Structure 1
């Protein structure tokens, strides 16, 4: 999340701002938007653009005081001075970010590793079956990325906000942390949406598998048609488990607990690896056995997560909130558009590379696998920033919110530079793990500057996403991504066919750079939530 911070917003110490003397009449008497207390209906966020607009939808927010006579001209200019006042300071906040990000990174890596093992088992059946499973898996992953992942991100933010407000109320009342289970509207609404979405995906994918195969270019007389359709139909029955598990993972992330999802995902993937050889070879179920093993593991993950969640949250009775549902649907619509913009841009790069021939396409695929896999580390960091920021922002603790933003930017940039250095020296060895074909290796290694050089920009882009989500700035996240994708796609269509893979890689770099620039513009603005984050201090009690 790159940008230019102001000289009065320097590193860690810059958050200790001197307040002007104020009288009671000058304070705003509102509480942070988003949520009130548990069992109370919550209103969607409404941003305040000036101090006179102090109420929204009858939701009150806590007193705010001006933090300085002159608000910073550009809150991110202090990134130009990264070595001053606590660069990568190992304080309590740094350790809290690390404790959330590391388990999340391992959990994010668990699924791709299990998929590789899955692919290895299917590959021993035959080339046709392997290709068929590849087609069906790509369809299933596309549906999950477009419809399911937005629910995960929204749940994380909403639960973190509601949980922070509950903890604040317990502190004010002097009761301390309650040992009783809580009934959270954000959790109930998320689970209801997850169940509905999962059932709809099962019906659509199972009944429409034949139509989907035709769309994917696999005719009825193709050798791949039978196994591909069988695998997709069986995998569709795991959709409810997948969506519910993602919703519960979002809840645990909102609680800033990324260890529980790690254990659940690890257990499910371990079972999948055990069941694969038994069902595929021992029982002779072939491709169908691979699908069944995956579905069983998905239900195990969902069961473990729901079981652990029931220790903290009341799952029954169900506290369904119509206004909360509207917030989910509205935010989900924005993130759906954002996800589609990313998907279209990435698909376009693959299409242009494929037209260059099998050797360039194979080299490009290796570069993309490394490029995307490395992003798991910064995705986990973005997740940590999102959960912490959502809690501070919902309480109106804007000084702490600024500190979180600044610190995740620092760590993200540091991680990006570190990954860039590692890849500059180790990318050649990494490419050898994918193939022994000398021509493909030459093409892949020619992408060194793209894969390694873009890591700092990638890291900042992913961390910016987490900051958007932490303050529920989903609308801007969507519009900025659509515009970045549009400009990058135009560049790819014009330059890609002329310059080949260098043009494709340049287009991807421009895509990530535009995302960062859009983030710089938004975070340094006085619009939406950033007006209060940069220019107000919340209650210190």
Structure 2
């Protein structure tokens, strides 16, 4: 007999997803403002900002376990009715953020020069990047504090306050950036100071919210160690993504100038739509974790099916939308005829992949909410090693260009789709209990 499943109201899902999308989009929007301000200083400061920003962004990219891992653990305890214990996970994630953040800050100060010079290949650009990076790195522990705060608040299904806190910091910095860059005459360094100021405001708001919960604030190494165990799987998974996309950029750059420009345009649209789809996944993490924590496997399965359906519908809608604007939207990014001529070689892969991405991202959220990070790590690394990476480098040897690169991405997504769907259907992820 078929297992009966429960679902939750759509309003509850999107009540978590929409604020999460705001948090996810806040940082890229701030970067756009920062870029626009610094861009008027000239090509060299802009290049320094671009390079320094890439290095700093690796902090949040590689350490997402402080948000995603904390959400999974906190949601289970919240679902079990143990709010104080759930918030205590946030306390330990905050201590972990401080420790890891200090390590990143010290290592970054020591390695900023060599890394910037190695990446830039230019003494001038490297120097500009280092001058920005040495200041911006003081925000690294604060970035991690904000990630930990996002994690525990999502776990207790409070998605609105994180949005307010992040917008407060980024909004203030967006105002402060032109004042420091132009008004105070600090130039590129003024942008870095504004960046740190944003992180101070957001991190302070998250810490204040944690203190107001009135739970013990002492560090508990056993819990932090358990969080690091989950973090290890998520970091390895993230490194798999980075290896793929860095390789794709390297191969595109070796194809032609027009190809790398076209790849950048389509890839940035891919990244933006990933944020949209990831907001549904974040709702899944919170809701699935809470259901399993409450011991309700039936509801967890129902939410998984519901979220997967939403992801598929959203992916199909995005597929249709970007097919319709295929002749118009690329012109908003470039007027170069050679780049425009290359974009279709990647564009239709990007369009057709949206429904697949909708399902993959949704089920990623379901499995992360269930604490099934080890499976996701293995699935991602195998998909990268068997699909994306071989085709990327074969496309370089055989001169397949952008079509080869995006065929690799397509195979990567198809392999991930097969893995997460089989895992979902198996039900082995649905382990009930306050702690997995």
Q: Same fold (TM over 0.5)?
A: yes
> In the aligned structure 1, how far is the partner of 2:29 from the partner of 2:366?
28
Whether the 8 Å contact between 1:484 and 1:515 is mirrored in structure 2 is yes
Give the alignment's Cα RMSD to 1 decimal.
1.9
Residue 525 of structure 1 deviates from its aligned partner by: 2.6
Is 1:197–2:100 an aligned residue pair? yes
Whether the 8 Å contact between 1:206 and 1:234 is mirrored in structure 2 is no
Larger Rg: 1
| 1:101 alignment partner, one of 5, 9, 17 | 17
| 2:295 alignment partner, one of 378, 396, 404 | 396
| 1:164 alignment partner, one of 62, 72, 79 | 79
> In the aligned structure 2, how far is the partner of 1:423 from the partner of 1:235?
36
Is 1:132–2:48 an aligned residue pair? yes
Residue 445 of structure 1 deviates from its aligned partner by: 3.5
Whether the 8 Å contact between 2:92 and 2:224 is mirrored in structure 1 is yes
Residue 247 of structure 1 deviates from its aligned partner by: 0.2
2:30 aligns to what?
114
Is 1:15–2:9 an aligned residue pair? no
Segment of structure 1 superposing worse, 305-314 or 354-363? 305-314
2:57 aligns to what?
141
Match runs of 1:68-83 below 5 Å: none
Whether the 8 Å contact between 1:454 and 1:509 is mirrored in structure 2 is yes
| 2:312 alignment partner, one of 405, 409, 413 | 413
Match runs of 1:228-247 below 5 Å: 228-247=129-148
Residue 215 of structure 1 deviates from its aligned partner by: 2.9
> In the aligned structure 1, how far is the partner of 2:12 from the partner of 2:427?
29
> In the aligned structure 1, how far is the partner of 2:114 from the partner of 2:396?
32
| 1:151 alignment partner, one of 45, 48, 66 | 66
Q: Give unpaired runs (5+ residues) of structure 2.
A: none
Whether the 8 Å contact between 1:244 and 1:302 is mirrored in structure 2 is yes
What is the TM-score when the length of structure 2 is the normalising length? Answer: 0.94
1:493 aligns to what?
393
Residue 259 of structure 1 deviates from its aligned partner by: 1.0
SS at match of 2:371: coil
Is 1:505–2:387 an aligned residue pair? no
Q: Give unpaired runs (5+ residues) of structure 1.
A: 1-6, 17-90, 169-180
> In the aligned structure 1, how far is the partner of 2:334 from the partner of 2:79?
49
1:275 aligns to what?
176
CA deviation profile, 1:41-73 (whole Å, cap 9, x unmatched): xxxxxxxxxxxxxxxxxxxxxxxxxxxxxxxxx
Residue 268 of structure 1 deviates from its aligned partner by: 1.3
Whether the 8 Å contact between 1:122 and 1:287 is mirrored in structure 2 is yes
What is the TM-score when the length of structure 1 is the normalising length? Answer: 0.76
> In the aligned structure 2, how far is the partner of 1:322 from the partner of 1:311?
22
1:45 aligns to what?
none
1:188 aligns to what?
91
> In the aligned structure 2, how far is the partner of 1:156 from the partner of 1:183?
9
